[in-house]
Chains A and B, each alone.
Chain A
Amino acid sequence: MNPVFRWIESSALSVWTRESTSLLAYPAILSAHAIGMGLVAGVSAAIALHLLGVAPEIPTVEMRRYAVVAWIGFALNAVSGMLLLIAYPTKALTNPLFYVKLSLVAVGLWLFIAVNKQLEKWTSVARLWLGISLLASWGGAIVAGRLLAYTYRRLMAG
């Protein structure tokens, strides 16, 4: 994989993202990634908490109106995450935790889509399990993502 990593790391986009002193490079991308995280994990958490019995006066089906906010957050993070990956491909892809994070994001998104598909129809048992697993998958994704900064073995291949 090293030649692939080196090829990505030497690309203009990778060099700019990593080395530019502009606030619009790495700092802005990291900020966007944190905002997107707040939106996608935050909306998921709000829906999960409601499924678990918080704010029972909210007509459950209406929570669907907020799904678009989560998708905006996800789009922001797909783009910013891709740029962070292009900046440091070796750092992410040689860390097993990165794959744990991606899997947890995939599970979280899948649960989010499944929950929203028929918000009003879930039985109380289903609401309990969906709520808990939504919270666990997004919480886990956040922890795994945060630990990436502390657990990488190699920063760059070049």
Chain B
Amino acid sequence: MVTFQMWLVSTFASVKPIGRMMHTAWGWPIAESLHFIGLSLLIGTVGLFDLRLLGVARRIPIAAMHRLIPWGLVGFGINALTGVCFLLAEPDQYVYNPSFHFKALFIVAAGMNALTFYLTSYRRVTTDGAPDDAPLAAKVSAAVSLSLWIGVIVAGRLLTFYRPFPCQPPEPGFLATCIPGFR
């Protein structure tokens, strides 16, 4: 895994133009602002849809509420794009950051949870004449989704408190949470 992390860092670092753009006076602040706007869009749409599945505002048809989701994807897209910019500009600050490992894990888990929902419950809860109350499986997906996205926010906010430093001996084990001494 450490070898993979080192490969990731050197690959990301080789994309120079994004790094240069991010290190201009306004690059980082603008990307951060967009990242927080994307976060709000995602929570405001996906989060509210999750709450609807859990039983909030039952008089809104679930299918109607689902029409907000494309805007959650817009938010996610903004954040994926700005997130990649951060990653390419300061790769070792993320690839070796334990908080980033959790953030990435939570994002992947949230994606798999959403996929499960679409493969199992989606049609049942959005079909014409679907009952106001979502089945238990959909409620579980919604609760998992809410918890994971909140986890993503917290892990993202904690990144600065877990900044990796150059490794001291002994060298890292399976997953490096410090910057291995190379070159």
Report B's interface with A, CB cutoff 8 A: 28-29, 32-33, 36-37, 39-45, 47-48, 51, 56-57, 59-61, 63-65, 67-68, 71, 150, 153-154, 156-158, 161
Tell me which of A31, A63, A143 contacts B154 (CB under 8 A): A31
Closest residue on chain A to residue B59 by CB atoms: A62
A37 CB-CB contact with B under 8 Å: yes
A46 CB-CB contact with B under 8 Å: yes
A67 to chain B, nearest CB (A): 10
A100–B36 Cα distance when bound, in Å, is 18
Q: Which residues of A contact B68 (CB under 8 A)?
A: 46, 49-50, 54-55
Tell me which of A37, A59, A66, A150 contacts B36 (CB under 8 A): A37
**Do A42 and B57 form a contact, CB below 8 Å, given A34-B153, A35-B153, A139-B37?**
no
B40 to chain A, nearest CB (A): 4
A85 CB-CB contact with B under 8 Å: no
Q: Can you pick out 23 interface pairs between chain A and chain B where the beta carbons lie within 8 Å of each other?
A: A31-B154, A31-B158, A38-B47, A39-B43, A39-B47, A41-B40, A42-B48, A43-B44, A45-B40, A46-B68, A49-B68, A55-B67, A56-B67, A57-B63, A57-B67, A59-B64, A63-B60, A66-B48, A69-B48, A69-B56, A146-B32, A147-B29, A149-B32
Q: B60 contacts A30, CB within 8 Å?
A: no
Q: Mark A1-30, 1 if CB is under 8 A from B, else 0.
A: 000000000000000000000010011001
A140–B153 Cα distance when bound, in Å, is 20
Report A's interface with B, CB cutoff 8 A: 23, 26-27, 30-31, 34-35, 37-39, 41-46, 49-50, 54-59, 62-63, 65-66, 69, 138-139, 142-143, 145-147, 149-150
Tell me which of A35, A59, A150 contacts B60 (CB under 8 A): A59
Name, among A145, A146, A150, the residue most crowded by chain B CB atoms within 10 Å (CB to CB): A146
Q: B45 contacts A46, CB within 8 Å?
A: yes
Closest residue on chain A to residue B31 by CB atoms: A146
Q: A34 contacts B64, CB within 8 Å?
A: no
Q: B43 contacts A42, CB within 8 Å?
A: yes
B interface secondary structure, majority = helix
Closest residue on chain A to residue B162 by CB atoms: A27
Tell me which of A41, A49, A56, A146 contacts B29 (CB under 8 A): A146
- 17 more contacts with CB within 8 A, not counting A34-B157, A41-B44, A63-B57, are A27-B161, A34-B36, A37-B40, A38-B42, A42-B48, A50-B68, A54-B71, A58-B60, A59-B64, A65-B56, A66-B51, A66-B57, A69-B47, A69-B48, A146-B29, A146-B32, A150-B28
Q: Which residues of B contact A62 (CB under 8 A)?
A: 57, 59-60
A49–B28 Cα distance when bound, in Å, is 28
Q: Which residues of A contact B154 (CB under 8 A)?
A: 31, 34-35
Q: B64 contacts A58, CB within 8 Å?
A: yes
Question: 3 smallest A-B Cβ distances: which pairs?
Answer: A42-B44, A55-B67, A38-B43
Q: A38 contacts B60, CB within 8 Å?
A: no
